[in-house]
A and B are shown apart, each in its own frame.
Chain A
Amino acid sequence: MSGARHLYVHLPFCAHRCGYCDFVTVVGRSGQHAPYVDALLWELELERGRLAERLETVFLGGGTPTFTSLSDLQRLLEALPAAEEVTVEANPETVSPELARALRVAGVTRVSVGAQTFRPQLLEVLERVAGPDDVRRGVHHLRDAGFDNISLDLVYGIPGQTASDLETDLEDALELQLEHLSCYELEAKPGTRFTHAWGAELARQADAMEDYFERVVACLTGAGYRWYETANFCRADMAGRDLRARHNLAYWLGHDYLGIGIGAVSTIENLRWRNTPGLGRYLEALAAGRPPEREHEPLEPDVQARERVLLGLRLDEPLPLRDLRPALDAEALARAERLGLAVDGGETLALTRRGRFLGGGVTADILA
């Protein structure tokens, strides 16, 4: 076995937990940043055998990785194995010129900035700490530090967001001439504080927001971006670089990955596991030199095949079918073709443009 070529590192610390967030996060606890980084490195040490000799990608996600105290973050980055793409997620207000330079020096090649929106009143609804100018400033600091691969996250479907709010957000994002954009529809997860506060409003505006996805795709593709994944867009590069997020592409192509940190998920061959989300238990286990508690999920071949279809159809490139036929319902597939939603190329399967807007439903349909 050659080992996973993709490493995910979870940094859970945040200045504030936003109402809509359902990631594994920890607010404050600056005193635990150092022990947590120690624990991460221990876990990495324990799992090193599962990694390939050379990594393609490393991704530091959160939480707010850039909220981690700079010295600890630097220590971590230096200790992580080298990779062709090293991405760090950053909240705009944390991106100072120093931080940008430090990341660059530490070998980070790509930064993903969580902007969400440029409208102050909508940032407030999302309980984001940053203001619109923090986003612009942050991006400029990153450029100044030499980053030539920056991604920005936008969210649409925010309570109270009008169509023109969305257009302006997209224009503001385009003005920054970023290499990559991720645009997510806001998911109000049941049980979150956010859903409690805004659920009724979201239900009211659901119909009005029906076409926001279409607007996003039309605007960004019109500006020359490639809609390469359901929620992700990248610029065509003058120098011929592939600006897709390589780390995330690995997920969508069904490659193995190792995840370390609290709540982190790994999928290697036919096994998936998730680390405990409890910070205390995680620190305790690794301080004792033990792996953290984990939930294991064996992946049967049919489950793997379904996941390959579900993930692969998110991409704009046709999905090579090879051994995936048995995972498909031939009759449903034929129907999807008749409806102009999918194209069965024999060797490959692709969704049409309209099919991609309905990708979830089409996938549910055509899976056996």
Chain B
Amino acid sequence: MEQARIRNFSIIAHIDHGKSTLADRILELTDAVSARDMREQVLDSMDLERERGITIKAQAVRVAWKGHELNLIDTPGHVDFTYEVSRSLQACEGALLVVDAAQGVEAQTLANAYLAIENGLEIVPVANKIDLPAADPDETAVEVADLLGDDPARVLRISAKTGDGVADVLDAIVERVPPPAGDPEAPARALVFDSAYDQYRGVVAFVRVVDGSFSGREELRTMATDTRFDVEELGFFSPAMTPVESLSAGEVGYVVTGLKDVSRLRVGDTLTSVREPATAALPGYKDVKPMVFAGLFPTDSDDYPELRDALERLKLNDAALVYEPETSQALGFGFRSGFLGLLHMEIVRERLEREFDLDLLVTAPNVAYRVEERNGEWIEVHNPAEFPREVEEVEEPYVAASIIVPKEYVGAVMELNNERRGTFGRLEYLSPERVHLTYELPLAEIVLDYYDQLKSRTRGYASFDYDLAGFKPGELVRVDVLVGGEPVDALSLIVHRSFAYDRGRLLVDKLREEIPRQMFDVPIQAAIGARVIARETVKAKRKDVLAKCYGGDITRKRKLIEKQKAGKKRMKQVGAVEVPQEAFLAVLNIGQGKGS
């Protein structure tokens, strides 16, 4: 296809604003999928995504419309994947900005819209769900146009659900989105905007060819990581995989690489030909680093090998997932894993539990800290149990947070952000009713229950997005929890000094409730270094007998004792103290803001 007739675009929308439905309608309307074969939301390939209404892995589908080749590039919808979103956007010249006409602009829409504008994309604004009784397309059009500095009349009004206006969307893409501008004669260069692992074919790269063309079975290399491989197949999605002889400048498609390790082909890297290589890589490649860490432990320690295998398999598909073995005396063998953010962590956890049928204990998430030790050396700490007890200085990651909320909740949001050590940025009115607030917040303060709190204090009206904003020094201390005098590594946490007492008290109180009485007194303490900041005692049991036992019920009493024995075996041993796994779970839940 000649470049002038190609349009590459993506859809930007807040969760539930109708991105997938619109994608489905586009496929239907362009006959890419017959109505009968139509599974709803074709682009979301994983069950999990379908249920959560989010899209994790970008894919691209090629459709034909009035003599043009349209490539719809799907973007992940969440803040944890900002980098991946930006790579997907870089593969496009335009974006549909879909806003629910009953809801208006949300923080996530805003973040991704700005990302698209920064990438120089032509934005085609769309007010969706105009069939809803609560829809206010005019108000939404004004809000969106305001945001883009555009004319409200140019905002398309559609219902992806009924199909109303979808053809106009396709026409607008052809009319407003510019064709790709690469040089078809230059040495071949393609942007890897996503990848997936197929157990039979290895790593499949999703690419946007920028310059030149790729053809046949030549040898390619990645310019940032210098990985080399022979092309096994080129093609595009229609949405089924459709092999082609070549992919040329402006086109979007896939490359079957035969690589066995997804980490060797990173999103954002540039593919070029080994025979006639390009001289410079495409701009914007970043090695994304995990910022949120948590320990993953099998509930049943016998499942450790299964957990290891499962992580290995997930990693094939998820280059951002990192993990290393961790041993906790309380929780046994597991892995300390790093994630891009909270959602990423939740997704990994759910996939492990669902696809691999594992029962997991997940420790309270923490962020990466930079610590200057007494000897002046800086180290990065991902695990509270490894946080030095004596430090010179500590730095923690911050985020630039963006919150959109109806104006009556501004006070509630400010209060929450103050509690979370936030620094106010600015406040602007998006409309007479809706306010956009920016804050700088420590990432540690949002990895716990921030999002839930924000939602509950604004009755679900607030929308929230964030971007990492570097490290800053903080007054952070390590709080240890001791049971029977033994520190419980899995329960150590890093908190701001001003929260240490309250958090310590909460943990100790909860543990006292959860640890069953033993045959001796069990002190439970929270301590900063050698200084105890909270203490409780689980008093020793004074009686534990089976009241009576005669000839008629020996079997039953034996079974009771055997059951009691089995119960003890399931306990985790902290020194001489038997702690039920549920106790850790309950405490970890407070850590995650679910128990308080």
A: residues with CB less than 8 A from B are 8, 23, 182, 184-187, 210-211, 213-214, 230-231, 248, 251-252, 257, 259, 263-265, 267, 272, 274, 297, 303, 306-307, 310-311, 314, 335, 339, 341, 356-365, 367
Contacts and interface: CB of A to CB of B under 8 A. Distances in A.
Interface stretch (B1-9, B44-52, B87-95, B537-545): B537-545
A66 to B, nearest CB: 19
A58 B562 CA distance: 30
B550 interface: yes
B561 interface: yes
B540 to A, nearest CB: 9
Contacts of A360: 544-546, 560-561, 564
A187 B519 contact: no
Nearest to B553: A265
Nearest to B539: A210
Contact of A231 (B520, B548, B560): B548
A210 B542 contact: yes
Contacts of B545: 185, 213, 230-231, 356-360
Interface in B473-513: none
A297 B544 CA distance: 27
Given A184-B548, A360-B561, A364-B565, A210 B543 contact: yes
B186 interface: no
Contacts of B241: none
9 contacts: A184-B548, A251-B554, A265-B551, A306-B562, A311-B549, A335-B576, A357-B542, A357-B544, A367-B565
The residue in A184, A231, A272, A356 that gathers the most chain B C-beta atoms within 10 A of its C-beta is: A231
Given A310-B557, A364-B564, A367-B565, A359 B544 contact: yes
**Pairs A-B, 3 closest by C-beta atoms:** A361-B544, A364-B564, A185-B547
Contacts of B246: none
A356 B81 CA distance: 61
Given A231-B545, A251-B554, A314-B549, 8 more contacts: A263-B552, A272-B555, A303-B558, A306-B562, A339-B519, A358-B541, A360-B564, A362-B544
B570 interface: no
Contacts of B565: 364-365, 367
Contacts of B201: none
Interface in B79-111: none
B407 interface: no
A231 B568 contact: no
B561 to A, nearest CB: 5
A265 B554 CA distance: 9
Given A335-B576, A360-B564, A265 B552 contact: yes
A184 B519 contact: no
Contacts of A230: 545-549
A365 B519 CA distance: 11
A267 B548 CA distance: 18
A356 B542 CA distance: 10
Contacts of A248: 550
Nearest to A252: B549
A45 to B, nearest CB: 21
A214 B551 CA distance: 26
B224 to A, nearest CB: 55
Nearest to A359: B545
B548 to A, nearest CB: 5
Contact of A307 (B541, B547, B554, B576): B554
B128 to A, nearest CB: 55
Interface residues of B, number: 26
A321 B330 CA distance: 34
A364 B543 contact: no
A214 B568 CA distance: 25
Contacts of A359: 544-546
B550 A307 contact: no
A72 to B, nearest CB: 22
B573 to A, nearest CB: 10
A307 B554 CA distance: 8
Nearest to B543: A213
Interface of B: 519-520, 541-555, 557-558, 560-562, 564-565, 568, 576
Contacts of B519: 339, 341, 358, 361-362
B568 A365 contact: yes
B309 to A, nearest CB: 32
A37 to B, nearest CB: 20
B550 A251 contact: yes
A186 B558 CA distance: 19
A267 B549 contact: no
Contacts of A339: 519-520, 576
A267 B554 contact: yes
A257 B576 CA distance: 40
Contacts of A356: 545
A184 to B, nearest CB: 5
Contacts of B549: 230, 251-252, 310-311, 314
The residue in B551, B564, B565, B576 that gathers the most chain A C-beta atoms within 10 A of its C-beta is: B551
B112 to A, nearest CB: 54
A104 B519 CA distance: 47
A359 B557 CA distance: 13
B158 to A, nearest CB: 60
A184 B568 contact: no
A205 to B, nearest CB: 14
Given A339-B519, A358-B519, A8 B551 contact: yes
Nearest to A358: B544
Nearest to A6: B551
Contacts of B553: 265
A176 B520 CA distance: 38
Contacts of A213: 542-543, 545
Contact of B552 (A264, A341, A361, A363): A264
B548 A367 contact: no
Contacts of B541: 358, 361
Contacts of A364: 561-562, 564-565, 568
Contact of A306 (B543, B558, B564): B558
Nearest to A258: B551
Contacts of A267: 551, 554
Contacts of A363: 561
B558 A307 contact: yes
Nearest to A254: B554
Nearest to B567: A364
Nearest to A22: B553
B387 to A, nearest CB: 32
B237 to A, nearest CB: 59
A187 B552 contact: no
B544 A251 contact: no
A299 to B, nearest CB: 9
Contacts of B551: 8, 251, 257, 259, 265, 267
B548 A259 contact: no
A362 B568 CA distance: 11
B542 A214 contact: yes
Contact of B555 (A231, A297, A341): A297
Contacts of B547: 184-187, 230-231
A311 B529 CA distance: 48
A321 to B, nearest CB: 18
Given A272-B555, A297-B555, A358 B561 contact: no
Contacts of B557: 310
A310 B561 contact: yes
Contacts of B520: 339
Given A358-B519, A364-B568, A311 B554 contact: yes
Nearest to A356: B545
B414 to A, nearest CB: 45
B185 to A, nearest CB: 77
A257 B552 CA distance: 10
A210 B555 CA distance: 27
A259 to B, nearest CB: 6
Contacts of A214: 542-543
A357 B565 CA distance: 18
Contacts of A367: 561-562, 565
